[in-house]
Structure 1
Amino acid sequence: MTERTTCVVIGGGPAGMVAGLLLARAGVEVTVLEKHGDFLRDFRGDTVHPSTQELLDELGLGERFAELPQSRLEEIAFPIDDEQSLVVGDLRRLRTAHPYIAMVPQWDFLNLLAEAGNAESTFTLRMHTEVTELIRAGGRVTGVRYRTAEGETGELSAELTIACDGRWSLARREANLRPKELPVPIDAWWFRLPRRADETDSSLRPRMRDSRFAIVIPREGYFQIAWIARKGRDPQLRAAGIERFREDLVELFPQFADRAGTLESMDEIKHLDVRLNRLNRWHVDGLLCIGDAAHAMSPIGGVGINLAVQDAVAAATLLAEPLRHGRVGPRQLARVRGRRLLPTILVQTLQRTLHRVVVRPVVEGRRNGPPKPMVRLMWAVPKATFLPAYLVGIGLRPEHAPAFARRLSRPARGS
C-alpha cells in the first residue's frame, strides 16, 4: 500500500509533535508516525523550559498547559551538603512570563500537542506505526516504509521527511549521517519509589556524596529518581545486586528507608547510556534531522526537550512556505542547521563544563559537591547566576511561533 503526504515526521516526541502542529497550521499536509500506541513511557524527561512555555502561549495553548499537573523549578542548583545548595542558575532573574522550569509528565505535554494537532485538517497522527526504512529515488529521500502493530506494511511518500526519532535514529543511520561523539563521564539509571500524599516538592533537592549523585522528580503518587554514576558502571551495579543498591539509596536519602524495599530486583533500575553528540550535517536531500536525532544532550540541565522544540519551530518557520509552493531543496534544509547550530554548541559546551568541574569529580569519589572556588564566586556575585539560567531556560536564539501558527490566548502568566 502506497500513500502520499507533503511531509512525514518520524517520531511523536516533542520535536515531532511541535513540527507537525506548526506545519499543519501553515496548511501543509503532514503525517506524524509514532511506533508506540500511546505516550505513556516511564523515565522520559519532564522539563518544559521558559522559552517553550512562551511558545505555548503564542500557540494559544498556555492556559491548557497551566492546567496540567506540574511542579516548578526556579533554580538550577548543585548540593553542597544535605542542607545547602549552590545556585548556578537563578531562573527568577529572567524577564519572562514563566521564570521557572515546569516539571510536567511528558505524556501530558505530548497529549496536549496531539489534541491541538488533531484540530487541524491537514494534520494526521498515526500511532502503532514504526518506520522501518527510508525510500529513495533519483538520489533523494522520497518517503518511508513502515510497519503497524498488526504487522501490516506500507509506504508513505513525501516531499520532505523529518527525522525526530531520537539519539538512536534509524533515519539518520540509513542516511549515513554520523554524529561526532563528545566525551561524557556519566550514565543515568532511572527508577521509581512510592510517594506519600503529605510529601512536598522539597524532595526535588539533588544530593551528591561519596560517588553518588541523584535527583528526585515528584509525580502524582510516586517519585521518579535519576541515579547518576560513572559511565560504564552498569555491569558492576547489576552484579552487586538490588540489596546493595537499596543500601546506597538509603545512605544518600535516609527518608526513603521505609520504601527502598519496594525495589525488588535490578530489572526495575533502567539504564540510560548518556550521549553527547551532534551531526556535522543535519540533512540529505529530502531528509532533515532535528532534536536528539541531530544532537543528543546530557541530562544535566534538562535542556534536551527545549532544544528539540526550538529546532522544530525553526524548521517549520523556514520550510512551511517552500513546502506549500514546491520542492524543498538541500539549501533550504541547510538553513535549519545554520540557525540552530550555535545555540546547540553553546549549551553542549556548558554541559561539558559542568561535567568536568562539578559532576565528574563527584562520581569518581574525588570530591563532594561543587568546587570551592565556584562556591565562593556564586556566593560573592549572585548576578553570575543569570547567564547559566538564560542559556538553559531561554537559549541563545529562542524561537517564537511564526505568524501562521499563532492563536489568540491569554498567557497563563504567573499561574
Structure 2
Amino acid sequence: MVVAREGCPMESTTCLVVGGGPAGMILGLLLARAGIDVMVLEKHGDFLRDFRGDTVHPTTLELLDELGLREEFAKLPQRRLNSVALPIGGRMQTLATFEHIPGRFKYIAMVPQWDLLDLLAHAADTEPAFRLRMNTEATDLLRESGRVTGVRYRTEDGATGEIRADLTVACDGRTSTLRAAAGLRVRDWPTPFDVWWTRIPRNDTDPAGAVPVLTADRVAIMLDRGDYWQCAILIAKGIDSTVRQREPVTDILRQMAAAVPWLTDRVDAVQSWDEVKLLDVKLDRLERWHLDGLLCIGDAAHAMSPVGGVGINLAVQDAVAAARILAPKLISGKVEESDLARVQRRRSIPTAVIQSMQRIAHARGIAPAVSGKINVSNFDSTPMVLRVFRRIPILRSLPPYLVARGVFVEHAPEFARRPVPPAPMVTESG
C-alpha cells in the first residue's frame, strides 16, 4: 500500500496524464468527454515555447472537426502549407503537393502550438471531469506490488506531493522522466544531423509555403508563418558548439542568400547566437510502451526525427487510439496491462513505417547534404532524380500522403464527438 509521506499531500484521479503537449491535452479532453476523471500535469506555467513544432496535419484537422472545434480553430492565426518547392535554375519548382491526398483537408496548417494548446485546454475545461495542473512536474513513479499507481510531483515553488491514479500516461516528451523512471528499454538509431531553429522576417513578395534551401554550406527549410519565416537549418551532428565558437552568426543567412537571392536584404536579420536554438535530433522507440499501470505515448514512446514534421501528428493519433481503447476499461475500473499492449500494437506499425522512412531520408539525403556532398543550388535545370520523381505518380503521391495522413487514421470515438455549432441565420430586414 502506498502511504503519503508526512506533510506530503496525496491526491487521486482515474487517469493521470503527465505532459501538457498535443498528445496529453487531446487525451485529457477525450477521456473527460467520456466522463472519466482525468488530471493533466504540465510542468510549465504556460504553453509558450520557442520553436515547438507548429504543424497541424490533415488528420488532426479532421479530429478537431469531429470534436466540434473546427470553427474555434479557424479563428487562430495560421498559414496553410499546400506544397513544397525547391529553388532550382533561378526559380521555384514544385516538388510535392497535397492537392491529391484524400479527405477534406488538403493542406497542413501552420499554427503556433501554444494557441492550439490553449484551444484544447479551454475545450477540456468545460468538462466537469477534467483538471489541468500547471507548474507541476512529475518527478518519479509510485509503485505498489509491482504496479505503477501514480507519481510524485514537485511544483514551481518547491512543494511536493503524490497523486494516485488507476492509470498513468506518460506524454512528457523525448526526455521523458517517467520513461526513465520505469526503466523501459529503448532502441535508438544514430542521426546524422541536428537542427538550428531561428526566425527571419518575411516580405509580401517572398514565395509562400515551405521553401527548402540547399547550398554548399547550408541545408535548411523555411516555413511560411505570415510575417516571418520559421527556419530549420540542418547541421552535422554534434558540431553546434564548435561552429558557435568559430563562426559569426551572420554567416548563416549570408550562405543561404547564395541560393535564395531574395534573402539578400535580410542577411543581417539574425544578430546573436542567442536567437538560434538547438534541437538535438533523436530517433528512438521503446521496445515496450507500458508497464502495469503505466502507458507511454507520443515522443515518450517514440522520439521522431523532424523530417516530414510528423511527430505531433503521430503523438495525437496515439492519444486518440489510447482514448478509444482504454475509455471503456477506465469506466469499468479495471485496466489490465494487456489493454495497454493493445494500444502499442495499434500504434507501433505506423510509427515503425514512418521511422523507417526517416532513416532512409537520413542516410540517402540528409547525411550527404550536411556533409557537403550534395548541392542542388549548383543545378541550372531540374535534376534527373526530381524529373523522375515528378513523372511517376506513386513516387509523387506517396511521400505527401504519408506526411499528411500517415499509415492509417485514428478518428474521434463517438463519445467525444460534438457537432459544430450552426452558423447564425441571416434574415433580410424590412
For normalisation by structure 2, the TM-score amounts to: 0.90
Q: 1:288 is paired with a residue of what secondary structure?
A: strand
Instruction: Sort the Cα spacing of 1:328 and 1:82 in 2 relative to 1 into closer, same or farther, 3 A.
Output: farther
Cα distance, 1:247 vs structure 2: 3.2
- State the 1:154 CA deviation: 1.1
Q: Residues 54 and 333 (structure 1 numbering): CA distance in 2 closer, same or farther, change over 3 Å?
A: same
Give the alignment partner of residue 47 of structure 2, picking from 39, 43, 60.
Answer: 39
Verify: 1:232 aligned to 2:234, yes or no: no
1:151 Cα deviation after fit: 1.6
Alpha-carbon shift at residue 199 of structure 1 (Å): 5.0
Residue 237 of structure 1 contacts residue 245 of structure 1 at CA under 8 Å; is this kept in 2? no
**Greater displacement, 139-148 / 186-195:** 186-195
SS across alignment from 2:326: helix
Does the CA contact (< 8 Å) of 1:71 and 1:201 recur in 2? no
Shift of 1:365: 0.9
SS in 1 for 2:11: strand
Whole-Å Cα distance in 2 between the matches of residues 373 and 149 of structure 1? 56
Residue identity opposite 1:401 in structure 2: A
- 1:269 maps to which residue? 276
Shift of 1:246: 4.5
What is the correspondence of 1:171-320 to structure 2 with a 5 Å cutoff? 171-196=178-203, 198-199=204-205, 202=208, 204-219=210-225, 221-239=227-245, 240-320=247-327
Question: What is the distance in 2 between the residues matched to 1:84 and 1:77?
Answer: 6
Structure 1 partner of 2:415: 404
Distance 1:401 1:203, change over 3 A: closer
- Give me the whole-angstrom Cα distance separating, in 2, the residues matched to 1:253 and 1:194: 14
Q: CA deviation at 1:328?
A: 1.1
CA contact (8 A) 1:57 1:410 kept: no
Note the C-alpha offset of 1:375: 1.4
1:390 to 393, 401, 409: 401
1:130 to 2:137 alignment: yes
2:42 aligned partner, one-letter code: E
Q: 1:150 to 1:199 in 2, by over 3 A?
A: farther
- Structure-2 residue corresponding to 1:51: 59
Distance 1:61 1:122, change over 3 A: same
Structure 2 vs 1, CA of residues 203 and 311 (structure 1 numbering), >3 Å: closer, same or farther?
Answer: closer
Greater RCO, 1 or 2 (C-alpha within 8 Å, sep 6+): 1
Indicate whether 1:72 and 2:80 are aligned. yes
Query: How far apart, in 2, do the equivalents of 1:218 and 1:248 lie?
Result: 20
Conserved 8 A contact 1:61-1:409 = yes
User: Relative to structure 1, is the Cα distance of residues 75 and 48 closer, same or farther in structure 2, using a 3 angstrom cutoff?
Assistant: same
Distance in 1 (alpha carbons) for counterparts of 2:97 and 2:277: 31
- Any conservation in 2 of the 1:130–1:146 contact (CA below 8 Å)? yes
- Give the conservation status (yes or no) of the 8 Å contact 2:85–2:92: no
Q: Secondary structure at the match of 1:301?
A: helix
Q: Offset of 1:81 from its aligned partner?
A: 5.2
Secondary structure (helix, strand or coil) at the match of 1:408 reads: coil
SS at match of 1:227: strand
| Aligned AA (1:210) | A
User: Is the 8 Å Cα contact of residues 290 and 308 (structure 1) preserved in structure 2?
Assistant: yes
User: CA 1:116/1:203 → structure 2, altered by over 3 Å: closer, same or farther?
Assistant: closer
2:118 pairs, out of 111, 121, 140, with 111
Query: Unmatched 5+ residue regions in structure 2?
Result: 1-8, 424-430
CA distance in 2, matches of 1:228, 1:213: 5
Number of positions where the alignment pairs a residue of Structure 1 with one of Structure 2: 410
Q: Does 2:334 match 1:331?
A: no
Deviation at 1:7, TM superposition (A): 0.7
Once residues 81 and 180 of structure 1 are traced to their aligned partners in structure 2, the CA distance between those partners, rounded to angstroms, is 42
Partner of residue 61, structure 1: 69
Task: Provide the secondary structure at the position in 1 that maps to 2:295.
Answer: strand
SS in 2 for 1:52: helix
Instruction: Give the TM-score normalised by the residue count of structure 1.
Output: 0.93
Judged with a 3 Å threshold, the aligned counterparts in structure 2 of structure 1 residues 81 and 11 are, in CA distance, closer, same or farther, namely farther
| Residues 189-228 of structure 1: CA deviation (Å, up to 9, x unaligned) | 01123345x3556263121111411122233543321111
Q: Give 3-state SS (helix, strand or coil) of 1:202's partner.
A: coil
1:211/1:229 contact within 8 Å kept: no
1:11/1:356 Cα in 2 relative to 1: closer, same or farther (>3 Å)?
same
**Alpha-carbon contact 1:57-1:411 (below 8 Å) kept:** no
What 5-or-longer segments of structure 1 have no aligned partner? none
Question: Could you say what secondary structure the match of 2:309 adopts?
Answer: coil
- How far the C-alpha of 1:349 sits from its partner, in A, is 1.4
Answer yes or no: is the 8 Å Cα contact 2:85–2:210 preserved in 1: no
Mark the CA change 1:80 to 1:411 in structure 2 (over 3 Å): closer, same or farther. Answer: farther
Check whether the contact 2:87–2:259 (CA below 8 A) recurs between aligned residues: no
Deviation at 1:407, TM superposition (A): 0.6
